[in-house]
Amino acid sequence: MPPRHLFETAVNRNWSPADWSDVTVLVAVSGGPDSVALLRALAHLHRGNLENLVVAHFNHQLRAQEADDDEDFVCSLAAQLGLACHTGRWQPLPGETHSPGEAAAREQRYQFLTSLANQLGARYVATGHTADDQAETILHRVIRGTGIGGLAGMPRSRRLSQLTTLIRPLRELRRQQIREYLEYLQQPFRNDSSNTQRTFTRNRIRLDLLPQLERNFNPRVQEALCRLAQLATQTQAIIDRQVAVLRKAIQQHRDDGLIVLDCKQLGTDDAFLLQELLIQIWKERGWPLREMGLERWESLTHSLITVSETSKRFEFPGQIRGDYANGCLQLSAPQDDAPAH
């Protein structure tokens, strides 16, 4: 079977056009091989009005003229396919005079995609993440330090907003399959020169660590890492169900929206689930997670379970405050203290 049919059959199996051809889909296209292959496949598999398939490109302005050329390439490709194309650019915050770092650029890109999806009424935002990206993500997290949730890697889909879902149709496919598909189509793409810079940890994992693991330890290490992600996803789902039970038992319902947890009946066996509940609350509230760290989480949960004082105050990054009194922890952020108007 020709590479085109093999690739598009795999995409079709991962994300059936019956699920998306009748709704608006925003395809995030950087100009690189993965997102270009995704766009070509979706355009060919689409069964309805191509007006529902929309291209989005975000220019991070990290690579000067090269980034502008990427933008021109994506707009030109969209025009060739008869698709609308929307572009966005990094906007410096007040006081910023330089281009963003990797994390800030990623955050602005997703803000752009979410805002554009809401504006267009898009049901899905499709990205070109592959199985190789999944393996790199898991290794990166292991090196940096992670838990079960981190080992789950990138989910196949996740909510961006109430209306829109992020979907990764290529997550089960390898980069080699993508290259063969593009070569068969004779479809050009852009190469991001920053992907070869070993100053970035992610690049060293892709260029050095993974190839060494494949050569010297396990030629199918990427598949093994992706299987680990599947197992971690299943394990995390079990944990989440147990956390929901704990939350129902200890969280008090407040009209003012404050988080209050009754910790009086908790024992040492509850420490892990309490920690997972606190992380869940931080995520829901959009409070700073990265600055917390494992030691801080463990210290907090240990204090809540073994605390002997009748009252105690905890201070967390982002001016998040925890007030413990009479066996209950009240969590609040600065905006929670603002007077109502």
Residue spans of the domains in the chain: they are: 3-130+153-197, 253-337
Give the pLDDT band (50/70/90) at residue 49: confident
**Residue type for 111, please?**
Q
Write down the pLDDT at residue 340.
Answer: 47
Question: Cβ contacts of residue 130 below 8 Å, gap of 6+?
Answer: 34, 170, 171, 173, 174, 175, 178
Band (pLDDT 50/70/90 cuts) for residue 91 is confident
Residue holding tokens 């413990």? 324
Sign of CA dihedral 219, 225, 226, 227: positive
Per DSSP bridges, beta strands 25-28 and 124-126 are parallel
Instruction: Note the pLDDT of residue 341.
Output: 43
In the chain, the percentage of residues whose pLDDT exceeds 70 is: 95
Q: 99: pLDDT confidence band, cut at 50, 70 and 90?
A: low
**Phi, psi values for residue 124, rounded to 5°:** -135, 150
Q: In whole angstroms, what is the distance from residue 237 CA to residue 95 CA? A: 42
Beta bridge partners of 230: none
Q: Are strands 157-159 and 25-28 parallel, antiparallel or unpaired?
A: unpaired
Lowest-confidence segment of 170-174, 291-295, 308-312, 336-340 by average pLDDT: 336-340
Predicted confidence (pLDDT) at residue 166 exceeds the cutoff of 50: yes
pLDDT confidence of residue 101: 67
C-alpha 189/C-alpha 284 separation (Å) is: 38
**Among the ranges 80-94, 251-265, 319-333, which has the highest mean pLDDT value?**
319-333
From residue 220, how far is each of 132, 134, 152, 171, 217 by CA, in Å?
A: 11, 14, 18, 16, 9
Overall residue count recorded for the chain in this entry: 341
What gap in Å lies between CA 282 and CA 332, rounded to an integer?
A: 11
Mean pLDDT, the chain, whole residue set: 91
- CATH topology for 3-130+153-197 is Rossmann fold (3.40.50)
HEC string of the chain equals CCHHHHHHHHHHHHCCHHHCCCCCEEEECCCCHHHHHHHHHHHHHCCCCHHHEEEEEEECCCCHHHHHHHHHHHHHHHHHCCCEEEEEECCCCCCCCCCCCHHHHHHHHHHHHHHHHHHHCCCEEECCCCHHHHHHHHHHHHHHCCCHHHHCCCCCEEECCCCCEEECCCCCCCHHHHHHHHHHHCCCCCCCHHHHCCCCHHHHHHHHHHHHHHHHCCCCHHHHHHHHHHHHHHHHHHHHHHHHHHHHHHEECCCCCCEEEECCCCCHHHHHHHHHHHHHHHHHHCCCCCCCHHHHHHHHHHHHHHCCCCEEEEEEHHHEEEEEECCEEEEECHHHHCCCC
Q: Residue 338 pLDDT more than 70?
A: no
Rg (CA), the chain: 23
Backbone angles phi, psi at 319, to 5 degrees: 60, 25
Instruction: For domain 253-337, give the CATH number.
Output: 3.30.465
d(CA 24, CA 83): 12
